[in-house]
Amino acid sequence: MESLEDRKQRASLEKAETLNAYAQEFSDMREQIPTGFRAAEVIEANKKRILRVLDATEADWQDWTWQLRNRISEVEVLGQILNLSEQEKADISQVAAKFRWAITPYFASLMDRDDKNCPIRLQMLPSIRELEMTGRPDFSGEEYTSPAPKLVRWYPDRVTINSTNICAAFCRHCLRRRLIGETDIPTRDEDIVKALDYIRQNKGIRDVLYTGGDPLTFSDERVDWLLTELGKIEHVEIKRLGSRVPITMPQRIDSKLCDMLAKHHPLYINVQVNHPKEITKDTARACDLLSKAGIPLGNQSVLLKGINDDPHVMKVLSHELLKIRVRPYYIYHCQGTIGIAHLRTPVETGIEIVEQLRGFTSGLGVPSYIITPSGLGKTPLAPQYQVSEGPGYLVLRNWEGIVYKYENPPS
């Protein structure tokens, strides 16, 4: 007769076998998903080719101001870096007449030279489908929730200040592409001062985000000024920067910058990584410096069709982020901004991704799935785990799909 201890052991081994099968399925899939670390040799070869094209040196490459000055924005230069068909060149030129594009030499080195479906190429290179012009310029309704210049307020206790229209690279899915003109224009000091005056006059505001554009395209001195002025407001408890620079131009992150940022705690930085191919040794170095300066890092992905709309890709992305100490924070449903309909997925795709993350990876690696309806702030969506309820109980479904009854204590 089987003892109780034997039954426990048998049940444990059977459960472990089921879990091993789940793990093996993912292990088989992850080998097919490109990452920046696995592509290191190809990226290095691309880098050397770009340096030849731009007649530059290794010292130039490591200089963030050189990276920013030499953003690739001409199809003739791009054609020396990537293998482009004449039709692709014509399409890029046609779209460029309507929507600006530019990419740092560093981020261009992450692109596959031949694959049109490379996730970096799809994010950064203009598509002829942008000229379908569906969507709205200000899908988020920022222009109707801006009580002071360059300031957006959706919540009682926090606001955003759009500090510039400058980015190291212009993503095709940008929600503020209406603000990205032909030239780089930082927000005027007088507008920043008016935004700060509004915050001073509204003592319920305790959390302020500088975004743009990208505030880390500024000099150390200007970033210091922005944070110092914010720090003078007594009721502001938390300062945040929204920046993709650690991903698209990691050369910007150095010890001098981090020493300055460390003066302004509590300071948080959210980055945007949409695919594991974006996480390289350079990204890891930049994030390590920021982490060692005491700055918590979070990631805000955008759900993009053909780029990361796959549970396995998102799982690898979460794992790669956690390895460099960046917490997966949000997955944003792609906005209905003008010209980017071809990158949008159904809402159900994001819910399915979260469902395939929950239980299949650490809770640290499960971001919230967010929709931002016009002017109404963030609305989280999640799979439905409560099946039904009754007097004193709930019927719930776990991450494996197992349905069970749970005692519900009385109020």
Sign of the alpha-carbon torsion through 205, 207, 212, 216: positive
For range 207-231, the mean pLDDT: 96
The span from the CA of 272 to the CA of 329, in Å, is 10
For range 344-361, the mean pLDDT: 95
**pLDDT classification of 140: cutoffs 50, 70, 90:** confident
**pLDDT classification of 310: cutoffs 50, 70, 90:** very high
Measured in residues, the chain has a length of 411
For range 145-155, the mean pLDDT: 94
**pLDDT classification of 182: cutoffs 50, 70, 90:** low
343 pLDDT above the threshold of 70: yes
Output the average pLDDT for the chain.
95
Predicted confidence (pLDDT) per residue in 106-130, tens digit: 999 999 999 999 999 999 999 999 9
388 pLDDT above the threshold of 80: yes
Residue 181 is predicted with a pLDDT of 64
Token readout for 193 is 């001062």
Residue 136 is predicted with a pLDDT of 85
Residue 376 is predicted with a pLDDT of 82
The span from the CA of 87 to the CA of 30, in Å, is 33
| Residue 150: closest CA among 181, 186, 182 | 186
Radius of gyration of the chain (CA): 23
Sequence-separated (6 or more) residues with CB below 8 Å from residue 199: 151, 159, 205, 208, 230, 233, 236
Token readout for 167 is 């980015």
pTM: predicted TM-score of the whole model, two decimal places = 0.94
Q: Which domains does the chain have, with CATH numbers?
A: 142-377 (3.20.20.70), 384-411 (no CATH)
**pLDDT classification of 1: cutoffs 50, 70, 90:** confident
CA distances from 171 to 77, 100, 390 (A): 19, 10, 49
Residue 96 is predicted with a pLDDT of 94
For range 292-313, the mean pLDDT: 98
